[in-house]
Amino acid sequence: MCNGSSQPMKKQLRVLAALLLFTFFCASAHAANKPDSLSVKIGQMLMIGFRGLSVAEAPQISADIRERDIGGVVLFDYDVPSHTPLRNISSPEQLARLTLELQKITKIPLLIAIDQEGGKVNRLKPTRGFPPSLSAAHLGELNNADSTRAAALQCARTLKAMHISLNLAPVADLNVNADNPVIGKLGRSFSADPAIVISNSTLTCQAYREEGIIPTLKHFPGHGSSTTDTHLDFTDITASWSEKELEPYGALIAAGYRDPIMTAHVFNGKLDPLYPATLSKAMLDGMLRGKLGFEGVIVSDDMQMKAIADRYGLETAIQLAIEAGVDMLLFGNNTSYDPEIASKATAIIRSLLQKKIITEERIDRSYRRIMELKKRYHIDQT
Positions marked active-site: 231, 301
Give the Cα separation of 238 and 256 in Å (integer): 29
What are the residues whose beta carbons fall under 8 Å from the beta carbon of 111, sequence distance 6 or more? 47, 71, 72, 73, 165, 166, 214, 370, 373, 374, 379
Number of DSSP helices (H) and strands (E) in the chain, helices first: 13, 10
Question: Whose CA is closest to 356, among 317, 326, 321, 319?
Answer: 319
Please give the single-letter amino acid code of residue 22.
F
- Write out 208-229 in H/E/C secondary structure: HHHCCCECCEEEECCCCCCCCC
Alpha helices, DSSP H, located in 45-87: 59-68
Give the Cα separation of 242 and 265 in Å (integer): 16
CA atoms within 13 A on the CB side of 158: 24
Q: Please tell me whether residue 322 adopts helix, strand or coil conformation.
A: helix
- As a whole number of Å, the end-to-end CA separation of the chain is 60
Burial of 216 (0-12, 13-18, 19+ CB in 10 A): buried
CA atoms within 13 A on the CB side of 212: 19
Question: Whose CA is closest to 189, among 227, 230, 217?
Answer: 217
Query: Would you tell me how many other CB atoms lie within 10 Å of the CB of residue 104?
Result: 11
Strands 116-118, 121-122: pairing is antiparallel
Question: Whose CA is closest to 342, among 68, 137, 132?
Answer: 68
